[in-house]
Amino acid sequence: MKDTHDTAPERQHDDTLSSKARRRFLKLAGLTGAAVAASRQVAFAAQGDINFFAKDLPDEKLIDMYRTILKIRWHERTQADEMLTNTEYRGYNHFYAGQEAVATGVCAALRNDGPFDQIDLVYSSHRPSGHAIAKGVDIPTMVAEMDFRATGMNGGYAAEMHISDPSVGFIGADGMIGPAPVIASGSAFAMRARGSDQVSVVFAGDGNYAAPHFHSTLNNARLLDLPFIYVCENNLYHQYAHYSYSCPHEDIATAAASYGIPTIVVDGQDVVQVYNAAREAVDRARAGGGPTFIEAKTYRYYNHWGAPGAEAGKLGAFGYDPLAITSFRPEREVRAWMQRDPVEIARNILVDWGVMERQAALDMEEEVKAEIKAAFEWGLSQPLCNPEDGLKHVFAEGTVPPRQFG
Amino acid sequence: MAQKSWMYSVLEAVQYEMREDPAMTWIFELTPPVASNPGKPVINLETEFGRKRCVNTGIDENWMASAVLGAGLSGSKAATYIPYQGACIPFEVIQNVAGKLRHMTGGKAEMPVVWVIEMTGQTPGFAGQHSCYEEDSYYMHIPGIRTVIPSTPYDAKGLMHAALRSPDPVVYLYPAGLRTLTEEVPDEPYEVPLDKAAVRTEGSDLTIVSSGAGMPDVLEAAKMLADEGAGIEVIDLRALKEMDTETLVTSVAKTKRLLTVDQSYYTLCPGAEVIARVAENVDGARYKRVAFPDAPPPASPEMFTWMRPDVANVVEAARAML
């Protein structure tokens, strides 16, 4: 991607990505003569500010993106603290901290307000809290849901792995590796069939590459030119296995390109770069130009998941994982990624672009922190579920009989 | 003989069979075939047999399930461990291919393969796509597939030996909620038959039939009922396909009362098949099913623990029949 703002670490990283992409492009072009979609980065470099949509955004929009990143970050941190310190807390989470810029940048390019048949839809396969917040769900009710409360976003039926709020276009999470992208492409299919300009987006991790669903999704999205965006969040690990165990390519986008789909490899720690990529994809989809595959290189700070009873300082950055047999990733790698923190990067961009004073940006973080704290206070004071309600919502109407009593 | 954990007992069997047969393979994702046990050497199939025979794949249960079938058809014994998040993704190849192949080929297809399939979601909070205690009903329905479900580390090891030595394809269900069980398990190999139920307690007043993850609660309930003076015969199915009809019929012919207990959904739970088989063969008996309601398991512990059959439910249902 084109280097955009004047902070040394990003520039260095961007240059690395860019030169890698260029080498790959030249090699591909030389070998096959096919100008495949991996040429995006090169095109940007050659075209200056063309496709640099973020620079045209109003200040409020940029500030809103920064605020969203802060909300996600502080939701994660506050929840982790609850796990470490509050013996009453029962929720668990597949943490999104470190990846905030991906959900934020993509969702900022989507239509999130309006009637259900006009807003864009987001499918979160896994690590859904960040996607949900970026799409605009109500955070206090999400907090309540994650602690199994009756007034939670899904009445206590879903919990973290399965949260959903269609009213903001957040179709939800299934916590699975496989099905979500295919289903999301089905929504795109319906949108195209009914002549809507809506877009359907799926967030899926690097682990999803190995599943047959990945390939079926991209093939059909391309064959039918669906208004569909596949956001591959490559955070290097599926659970505890490096993605090289499941994908032979350095860039998963290389495989996606072979389906004839435009692909963009983007620095997932930089929200404006993610936004630019998403905006290009959304514009293409709305104009009937078909699907786009975005691979965001990112990193999760915490372990695969966290649960109540966590102990600080044990095994990795968050410190607790009942399934982690050994330390699966080097501490240095975690630290290195933390040097390119999406919160810091977003803040620096706003300050560098003169959108916000540094102090105001720091004050906003305190504001958001307090807002999230209040969300947890509200969420954790909500009533627990009625046992008998487990028999509701099996069908549109009525309840099913209890069978546990014989 | 030593106190052994569930997974150690199972991997001891797998390790033995892989040492016996240098062609045998093991495919896993995410869950490394590693187990340790106090006073015993660590078992690590991946380091012992190398990554050619023991492979960590991407998250692709369809490939895992199909690959062991292909390995079997090429003449190699093969097994795979499918963790809970993909417990029914292998269904298509097992149901529509493996289950039909021997019959369809006039007996020519050989399939010495085992699918170890986790059942999980008994921990409150999992819910939705992360709960799959109903898959016993799905897999036990398939002709041509032997489906077993151990409930103790001893049976887990013995059934694994039998499954790996069987010429028939075996779905080996693993109720992950039982992973914390330990008991005395012999070091040497032994087989538990793939088609025999186990009578866990003998009695003449009431037969209670369960399997897998339902067993610990049933045994506890039976103890409470026995303390009240009731003669409870507890049967652990172990084999869902082929089901051991004889043991079931013999018991209920004596007790004339049959209570089945399942963590699976009420409709078509294993107990439904048990009751049907007994009713065809025993006159004048009374029947009752305790099962999970026909609703997906919700996340809320308050809802979930109320819906999941427990000791109190079993005791009450039994008392009403006695």
Distance of CA B257 to the CA centre of its chain: 25
Beta bridge partners of A170: A122, A165
Exposure of A94 in the CB half-sphere (CA atoms within 13 A): 25
Determine the straight-line distance between the first and last CA of chain B, rounded to whole angstroms: 40
Residue A22: predicted pLDDT:
34
B316 touching A (Cβ < 8 Å): yes
Q: Is A33 left (phi over 0), alpha (psi -120 to 50) or beta?
A: left
Q: What average pLDDT score do residues B273-279 get?
A: 98
Delimit the domains of chain A by residue range. 8-380
| Pair of tokens at residue A234 | 């490559």
Please report residues of A whose CB lies closer than 8 A to that of B305.
387
CA distances from A362 to A97, A110, A366 (A): 18, 27, 7
The larger pLDDT score, comparing residue B131 to residue A396, is at A396
| Pair of tokens at residue A189 | 């299919």
Mutant choice from B11, B300, B306, B311 vs A, greatest count of A C-beta within 10 A = B300
Domains of chain B with bracketed CATH: 2-185 (3.40.50.970), 198-321 (3.40.50.920)
B58 touching A (Cβ < 8 Å): yes
Return the closest-CA partner of residue A388 out of B126, B307, B128, B291.
B307
Residue of A nearest to B305 (CA): A387
* CA distance linking residue A335 with residue A367, whole number of Å: 27
B291 touching A (Cβ < 8 Å): yes
Residue identified by tokens 């994809």 is A281
* CA distance linking residue A280 with residue A77, whole number of Å: 32
In one-letter notation, the amino acid at residue A292 is T
* Interface A-B: count of C-beta contacts within 8 A: 153
Q: Please, are residues A226 and A186 in contact by the beta-carbon 8 Å criterion? A: no
Handedness of CA A209, B87, A182, B295 (dihedral sign): negative
Please report residues of A whose CB lies closer than 8 A to that of B125.
90, 92, 148, 159
* CA distance linking residue A159 with residue A146, whole number of Å: 5
Angle A38-A43-A49 from CA coordinates, rounded to 5°: 135
Q: How much of chain B, in percent, has pLDDT values that exceed 90?
A: 90
B62 touching A (Cβ < 8 Å): yes
In one-letter notation, the amino acid at residue B30 is L
A162 touching B (Cβ < 8 Å): yes
Q: Please, are residues B146 and B241 in contact by the beta-carbon 8 Å criterion? A: yes
Q: Please, are residues B53 and B25 in contact by the beta-carbon 8 Å criterion? A: yes
The one-digit pLDDT tens for each residue of chain A (406 residues) are 333 343 333 333 333 334 343 334 333 333 333 333 333 444 444 445 667 889 899 999 999 999 999 999 999 999 988 988 898 999 989 999 999 999 999 999 999 999 999 999 999 999 999 999 999 999 999 999 999 999 999 999 999 999 999 999 999 999 888 899 999 999 999 999 999 999 999 999 999 999 999 999 999 999 999 999 999 999 998 887 889 888 999 999 999 999 999 999 999 999 999 999 999 999 999 999 999 999 999 999 887 887 777 666 554 445 444 444 445 677 778 889 999 999 999 999 999 999 999 999 999 999 999 999 999 999 999 999 999 999 999 999 999 999 999 8
Q: Answer whether B30 sits within 8 Å of A148, measured CB to CB.
A: no
A212 touching B (Cβ < 8 Å): yes
Q: Which helix (H) or strand (E) holds B281?
A: helix B270-281
Residue B227: predicted pLDDT:
97
Mutant choice from B132, B302, B319 vs A, greatest count of A C-beta within 10 A = B302
Residue A329: predicted pLDDT:
75
Q: Note the maximum CA span of chain B.
A: 59
Return the closest-CA partner of residue A132 out of A102, A164, A157.
A164
Using only the alpha carbons of chain A, give its radius of gyration: 21
Q: Is the confidence at residue B122, as pLDDT, over 80?
A: no
Top CATH class of A8-380 equals alpha beta
A396 touching B (Cβ < 8 Å): no
* CA distance linking residue A59 with residue A298, whole number of Å: 26
Q: Which helix (H) or strand (E) holds A123?
A: strand A121-124
Return the closest-CA partner of residue A251 out of A295, A218, A209.
A295
Task: Count other Cβ atoms within 10 Å, centred on residue A396.
Answer: 5
Pairs from A351-358 (Cβ < 8 Å, separation ≥ 24)? A352/A5, A352/A6, A352/A7, A353/A5, A353/A55, A353/A62, A355/A59, A355/A62, A355/A63, A356/A59, A356/A63, A356/A66
List CB contacts of A305: < 8 A, sequence separation 6 or more.
A92, A93, A94, A95, A321
Q: Answer whether A387 sits within 8 Å of B303, measured CB to CB.
A: yes
Please report residues of B whose CB lies closer than 8 A to that of A239.
30
| Pair of tokens at residue A316 | 């990795």
Q: What are phi and psi of A286, to 5 degrees?
A: -65, -30
Residue A397: predicted pLDDT:
97
Band the pLDDT of B223: cuts 50, 70, 90.
very high
B310 touching A (Cβ < 8 Å): yes
Q: Please, are residues A177 and A238 in contact by the beta-carbon 8 Å criterion? A: yes
- Could you give the 3-state DSSP secondary structure of residue B163? helix
- Could you give the 3-state DSSP secondary structure of residue B299? coil
- Which of B58, B85, B299 is closest, CB to CB, to A209? B58
Exposure of A306 in the CB half-sphere (CA atoms within 13 A): 30
Q: Please, are residues B122 and B136 in contact by the beta-carbon 8 Å criterion? A: no
Q: Is the confidence at residue B121, as pLDDT, over 80?
A: no
Q: Answer whether B307 sits within 8 Å of A391, measured CB to CB.
A: yes
A382 touching B (Cβ < 8 Å): no
| Pair of tokens at residue B276 | 């049907």
Residue A318: predicted pLDDT:
57
Residue identified by tokens 């015969």 is B233
The larger pLDDT score, comparing residue B302 to residue A335, is at B302
Please report residues of A whose CB lies closer than 8 A to that of B303.
156-157, 385-390
Identify each DSSP E strand in B38-134 by its residue range: 40-44, 54-56, 78-82, 113-119
Return the closest-CA partner of residue B168 out of B147, B189, B191, B137.
B147
Residue A313: predicted pLDDT:
57
Task: Count other Cβ atoms within 10 Å, centred on residue B132.
Answer: 23
Task: Count other Cβ atoms within 10 Å, centred on residue B129.
Answer: 18
Residue A171: predicted pLDDT:
97
Q: Answer whether A156 sits within 8 Å of B307, measured CB to CB.
A: no
pLDDT tens sequence across B95-113: 999 999 999 999 999 999 9
Beta bridge partners of A233: A205, A296
Residue A241: predicted pLDDT:
82
- Could you give the 3-state DSSP secondary structure of residue A137? coil
Return the closest-CA partner of residue B69 out of B113, B31, B102.
B113
Q: How many helices (H) and strands (E) does chain B have?
A: 12, 16
Q: Answer whether A148 sits within 8 Å of B299, measured CB to CB.
A: yes
Beta bridge partners of A136: none
Return the closest-CA partner of residue B316 out of A404, A348, A359.
A404
* CA distance linking residue A40 with residue A25, whole number of Å: 9
Q: Answer whether B303 sits within 8 Å of A394, measured CB to CB.
A: no
Residue A327: predicted pLDDT:
52
Q: What average pLDDT score do residues B248-265 get?
A: 97
Determine the straight-line distance between the first and last CA of chain A, rounded to whole angstroms: 63
Instruction: Give yes or no for a cis peptide into B242 (omega within 30° of 0).
Output: yes
Mutant choice from B118, B303, B306, B308 vs A, greatest count of A C-beta within 10 A = B303
The mean pLDDT of chain B is 96
